[in-house]
């Protein structure tokens, strides 16, 4: 799902290689330190799913991976945070309070067998051979801190989520004060407004069940889309974007649980008036009930018209579920995460260079990088974080997010008028932001306008940095 090149090919990695080349062979410790900094760039994107119990986190995780790896239930059933990452052989370990690793049975963790670890664990790590996990580490969490079974698990949840690069925060109906409180707590525990997840995507979950539900006259998912837009507008400080999702519809489609016979049943319902279809006229009541649980009532009602084959039905389910839009948002988040990694590595290397004044080449290389277009990206990262925290409604938040979320100059510039020359447009924009920086309200806005002006100058000269 994530293009591996986005994360693998980080310019800061090339800087690390250059530095290692400039270090005398006898300084082995220093080489190893820089190699360790570089190794952090090759990690899969870390994504945490947060939200109340039963918000739909585990179901959505299964949809993203395309495999039912996280236990889901109407009752709370994710008891610990679980980190799902790529690895062979497939295995699970529990991490105890004092950091020891106990082997666990995967079946037990996933709720398929009795769970009796020898002693309390605070989180579990599951390694699986899944293509999706090669570029994405997914962290499932038990629920908001207040409802977690005990304090250590709550703390581990906050720590793991605070260390993620992307947070997917699920809520049903509306985001409440405990939703925003937990997001604030995560931000706090990651060390302030310019740390922690670069992207927080709000997910209005159970979108299939909004309004009068799946069999209602109104379109539940259409309503969810409007509601998501309202939440995004009212909480710009907490959510980079808000999207409607039906994790259950996506999980069903992605895990191949609709058969040709199911599609046939849906076709039989297609010609019926809504009420007749809802009350199973003409089809076996058990089959109807099973399909309603599998597809959701919305999927059964609206999917009737799209069931020419099981794969057509699967495609429709995926589109309607919102999971594809979420995956697009995750791709944007990966681009942002790459920039944030660049910024973090540059910080680390500045620190290393300061500690080694007898190696002036080191300092010179780092300095040159910091003044290149890539070094400037680190300023964009900081400006966006500070501005979205201090002035979340400023239009420049969006301008900075565009710069950070897309690879091509046209996309990075936001809306370029049709027929306009991209470089000329960037030059004009640079002048605009420069003028705005003179009349900005407060330090965060001034810094943002100056940063944007400089970004536009880079784009007018070089297009996108590479
Ligand atoms: N209708 C509907 N049910 C869902 C959706 N997502 C999850 N569920 C159901 O809600 C219950 C809780 O889901 P789960 O993923 O375990 O929630 P978690 O506690 O946040 O991990 C389960 O019975 C799921 O089948 C959804 O989008 N729509
Ligand atoms: Mg769960």
59 lines ligand 1 (CB under 6 A): yes
Looking at the DSSP bridge assignments, the partners of residue 104 are 92
Ordered DSSP codes for 347-387: HHHHHHHHH-TT-HHHHHHHHHHHTSHHHHHHHHHHHHHHH
From the CB of 172, is ligand 1 less than 6 Å away? no
pLDDT of 104 > 90? The answer is: no
| Whole-angstrom distance, CA of residue 11 vs CA of residue 338 | 9
* Domains of the chain and any CATH numbers: 1-41+337-370 (no CATH), 43-246 (3.40.50.300), 251-321 (no CATH), 376-466 (no CATH)
In this prediction, residues 444-448 reach a mean pLDDT of 95
Cα dihedral sign, 24-25-30-32: positive
Q: How far apart are CA 117 and CA 124, in angstroms?
A: 11
314 confidence band (pLDDT: 50, 70, 90)? very high
Nearest to 451 by CA among 376, 398, 395: 376
Contacts of 374 (CB under 8 A, 6+ apart): 11, 12, 342, 465
pLDDT at 24 over 60: yes
Mean of pLDDT values over 349-358: 92
Rounded Cα–Cα distance for residues 350 and 19 (Å): 12
N- to C-terminal Cα distance for the chain?
22
pLDDT digits 0-9 by tens, 160-216: 988 899 999 999 988 999 999 988 888 888 775 556 778 999 999 999 999 999 999
Determine the atom of ligand 1 nearest the C-alpha atom of 321: 27
What average pLDDT does range 388-414 have in this prediction?
A: 88
pLDDT the model gives residue 400: 93
pLDDT digits (tens, 9 = 90+) for 262-308: 999 999 999 899 999 999 888 999 999 999 999 999 999 999 999 99
Atom 14, ligand 1: which residue's CA is nearest?
56
Contact yes or no for 157/145 (Cβ under 8 A): yes
Ligand 1 pocket check for 321: Cβ under 6 Å: no
33-67: per-residue pLDDT in tens? 999 999 999 899 999 999 998 999 999 999 999 99
What average pLDDT does range 405-432 have in this prediction? Answer: 87
Phi, psi values for residue 280, rounded to 5°: 65, 30
Q: Is the pLDDT of residue 133 over 50?
A: yes
Which one of 57, 58, 72, 143 would you pick to mutate in the ligand 1 pocket, going by the greatest count of ligand atoms within 8 A of its CB? 72
Atom of ligand 1 nearest to the CA of 55: 20
Q: What is the whole-number distance in angstroms between the Cα of residue 171 and the centre of ligand 2?
A: 13
Q: With bands split at pLDDT 50, 70 and 90, how would you rate the model's confidence at 74?
A: low
Residue 205 CA: nearest ligand 1 atom is 27
> Quick count: other Cβ atoms within 10 Å of Cβ 75?
6
62 lines ligand 1 (CB under 6 A): no
Measured in whole angstroms, the distance separating CA 13 from the mean position of its chain's CA atoms is 23
At residue 107 the predicted structure's pLDDT band, cuts being 50, 70 and 90, is: confident
Question: pTM for the complete prediction?
Answer: 0.92
């Amino acid at each position: 799902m994530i293009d591996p090149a986005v994360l693998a090919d980080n310019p800061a990695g090339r800087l690390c290689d250059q530095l290692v080349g400039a270090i005398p062979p006898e300084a082995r410790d220093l080489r190893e330190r820089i190699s360790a900094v570089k190794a952090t760039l090759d990690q899969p994107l870390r994504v945490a799913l947060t939200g109340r119990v039963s918000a739909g986190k585990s179901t959505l995780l299964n949809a993203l991976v395309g495999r039912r790896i996280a236990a889901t239930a109407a009752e709370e059933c994710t008891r610990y945070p679980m980190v799902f990452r790529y690895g062979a052989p497939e295995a699970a370990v529990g991490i105890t309070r004092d950091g020891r690793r106990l082997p666990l049975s995967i079946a037990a963790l996933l709720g398929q067998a009795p769970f009796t670890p020898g002693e309390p664990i605070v989180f579990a790590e599951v390694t699986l051979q899944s293509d999706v996990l090669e570029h994405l580490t997914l962290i499932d969490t038990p629920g908001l801190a207040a409802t977690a079974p005990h304090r250590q698990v709550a703390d581990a949840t906050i720590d793991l989520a605070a260390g993620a690069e992307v947070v997917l925060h699920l809520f049903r109906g509306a985001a409440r004060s405990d939703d925003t409180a937990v997001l604030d707590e995560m931000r706090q525990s990651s060390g302030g407004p310019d740390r922690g997840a670069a992207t927080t995507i709000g997910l209005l979950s159970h979108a299939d069940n909004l309004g009068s539900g799946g069999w209602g006259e109104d379109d539940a998912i259409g309503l969810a889309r409007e509601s998501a837009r309202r939440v995004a507008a009212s909480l710009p400080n907490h959510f980079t974007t808000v999207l409607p999702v039906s994790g259950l519809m996506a999980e069903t489609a992605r895990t191949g649980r609709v058969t040709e016979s199911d599609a046939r049943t849906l076709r039989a319902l297609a010609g019926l008036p809504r009420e007749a279809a809802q009350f199973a006229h003409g089809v076996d009541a058990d089959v109807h009930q099973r399909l309603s649980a599998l597809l959701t009532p919305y999927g059964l009602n609206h999917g009737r018209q799209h069931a020419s084959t099981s794969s057509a039905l699967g495609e429709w389910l995926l589109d309607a579920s919102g999971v594809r839009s979420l995956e697009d948002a995750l791709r944007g988040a990966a681009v942002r995460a790459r920039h944030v990694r660049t910024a973090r590595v540059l910080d680390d290397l500045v620190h290393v260079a300061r500690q080694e004044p007898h190696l002036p080449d080191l300092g010179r290389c780092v300095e040159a990088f910091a003044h290149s277009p890539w070094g400037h990206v680190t300023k964009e990262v900081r400006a966006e974080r500070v501005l979205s925290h201090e002035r979340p409604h400023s239009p420049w938040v969006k301008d900075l997010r565009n710069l950070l979320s897309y690879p091509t100059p046209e996309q990075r510039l936001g809306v370029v008028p049709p027929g306009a020359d991209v470089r000329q447009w960037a030059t004009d924009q640079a002048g605009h932001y420069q003028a705005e920086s003179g009349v900005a309200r407060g330090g965060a806005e001034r810094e943002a306008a100056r940063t944007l002006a400089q970004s536009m100058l880079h784009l007018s000269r070089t297009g996108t940095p590479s």
